[in-house]
């Protein structure tokens, strides 16, 4: 198997652009064909790869360009840059990083519902203490409106709900009525029985 041909090398963005332009010239295909075969929007590569380009190559369009031009990037050691880094580290007495102190990936942090309630309560008290009397009044009014709107919407849903066992759907929170119009909830019946 023959070795792949090296078309260009780069160490910065400008070098990347020049290498991709060299690949484009080597393949001898138009920007329109490149747009079509990669699935890029029409006119995209004419804005990215043309001299004096208006747009920059993004991480997404880099994949399109590499695939459409039939090339790939290989990361190799740059001996000159490596020598500079080693000299800098030796001069500034910087050692290699300690692998024991490096945490790779993600870690899981769990808190209980009880703890969350505890800190929410503390935060609510701290916030309430910092508010002025007017701000507390406005906040209480807003909370009250929210609370009553939930009750009203639940009441509406209960009224609109179809009865499941042939009985009439009744108002949430309202006592049930017997045929003669008297209340039939247990508290009222106990009270009337005591009288």
pLDDT in tens, 79-113: 888 888 888 887 776 666 666 666 666 667 788 99
104 within domain boundaries: no
pLDDT over 70 (residue 171)? no
pLDDT over 60 (residue 184)? no
Q: Report pLDDT digits (tens) over 51-74.
A: 887 788 888 888 888 888 888 888
Higher pLDDT: 16 or 2? It is 16
Instruction: Determine the length of the chain.
Output: 195
pLDDT over 70 (residue 78)? yes
Location of structure tokens 């009222």: 188
Question: 162 CB contacts (<8 Å, ≥6 apart)?
Answer: 169
| Predicted local distance difference test score (pLDDT) of residue 101 | 64
Split at pLDDT 50, 70, 90, the class of 134 is very high
Domain count, the chain: 1
pTM of the model: 0.46
159 within domain boundaries: no
Q: What is the DSSP string of 109-174?
A: ----HHHHHHHHHHHHHHHHHHS-HHHHHHHHHHHHHHHHHHHHHHHHHHHHSPPSSSSPP--TTS
Q: Tell me the backbone φ, ψ of residue 125, rounded to 5 degrees.
A: -65, -40
170 within domain boundaries: no
Split at pLDDT 50, 70, 90, the class of 35 is confident
28 within domain boundaries: yes
| Predicted local distance difference test score (pLDDT) of residue 176 | 53
Containing domain of residue 46, as a range? 13-69
Find the mean pLDDT for residues 183-191.
54
Token reading at 135: 């701000």
78 within domain boundaries: no
pLDDT over 80 (residue 169)? no
* Per-state percent for the chain, helix, strand, coil, to nearest 5: 55, 0, 45
pLDDT over 80 (residue 186)? no
35 within domain boundaries: yes
CA 46 – CA 71 distance, rounded (Å)? 19
pLDDT over 60 (residue 38)? yes
183 within domain boundaries: no
Phi-psi region of 70 (alpha: psi -120 to 50; beta: other; left: phi over 0): left
| Partners of 183 in beta bridges | 177
62 within domain boundaries: yes
């Amino acid at each position: 198997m023959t070795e792949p041909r090296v078309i260009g090398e780069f160490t910065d963005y400008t070098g990347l652009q020049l290498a991709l332009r060299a690949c484009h010239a080597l393949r001898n295909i138009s920007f329109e064909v490149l747009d079509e075969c990669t699935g890029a929007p029409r006119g995209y590569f004419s804005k990215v790869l043309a001299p004096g380009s208006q747009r920059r190559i993004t991480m997404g369009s880099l994949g399109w360009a590499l695939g459409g031009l039939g090339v790939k990037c290989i990361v190799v050691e740059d001996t000159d840059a490596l020598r500079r880094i080693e000299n800098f580290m030796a001069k500034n007495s910087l050692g290699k990083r300690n692998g024991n102190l490096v945490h790779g990936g993600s870690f899981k942090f769990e808190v209980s519902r009880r703890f969350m309630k505890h800190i929410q309560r503390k935060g609510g008290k701290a916030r309430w203490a910092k508010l002025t009397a007017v701000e507390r009044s406005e906040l209480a009014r807003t909370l009250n409106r929210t609370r009553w709107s939930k009750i009203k919407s639940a009441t509406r849903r209960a009224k609109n709900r179809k009865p499941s066992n042939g009985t009439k759907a009744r108002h949430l929170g309202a006592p049930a009525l017997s045929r003669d119009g008297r209340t039939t909830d247990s508290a009222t019946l106990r009270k009337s029985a005591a009288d």
